[in-house]
Amino acid sequence: MIFRGRFEYTIDPKGRVNIPARFREQLQESGQESLVVTNYQGCLYAYPSDDWARIEEKLSKVSSVDRKLNTFLRFFIGGGVEVVPDKQGRILVPPSLRSYAGLDKDVVITGMPNRFEIWSLTKWQEEIGRFEKEGFEDPELAREINSLGI
């Protein structure tokens, strides 16, 4: 499942964030009512619970010898929380995830293949700012993007 579009919402003092109506529809159509949210790359990743199950399965087969990989697993799996939208279509983001992603008021939700991401507005702007400034100057990246034929 691919999620498209970027949306701005506010997270309220209780820690609730709205999920874009379109995303909710997509979830319903695929017969899923819950999401798994976890932390990565400065933002929160939200997966439909079925997709998360597949990821979990793969991760559980990873050999846990490598210390760094192990740390990643701790962080990624350990961050994962299952959430169900309320009647208004909002999810409650637990404090640990909220503080990791620095969500306090304005948040950006952005679609990706397989998941969508929840960003604090300021972190999002930094992320995109970096791309817009450096991205076009990086010849390798430019070549890669060109090869996509967009």
| Among 12, 28, 33, 74, contact with its own copies (rule: CB under 8 A) | 74
Q: Which does 69 bind (CB under 5 to 8 A by kind): its own copies, DNA, none?
A: its own copies
Q: For the CA atoms of the chain, what is the radius of gyration?
A: 17
Q: State the number of CA atoms in the 13 A half-sphere of 8 facing the CB.
A: 6
Q: Is 113 in the site for DNA (CB under 7 A)?
A: no
Tell the smallest beta-carbon distance from residue 12 to DNA (Å): 4
Please answer whether residues 79 and 96 qualify as being in contact, where contact means their C-beta atoms are separated by less than 8 angstroms: yes
Please answer whether residues 17 and 61 qualify as being in contact, where contact means their C-beta atoms are separated by less than 8 angstroms: no
Tell the smallest beta-carbon distance from residue 82 to its own copies (Å): 7
Instruction: Round to whole Å and give the CA distance between 12 and 119.
Output: 15
Instruction: Round to whole Å and give the CA distance between 14 and 72.
Output: 29
Q: Cβ closer to its own copies: 31 or 113?
A: 113
Interface mask toward DNA for 46-85; x: CB under 7 A: --------------------------------------x-
Q: Is 12 in the site for DNA (CB under 7 A)?
A: yes
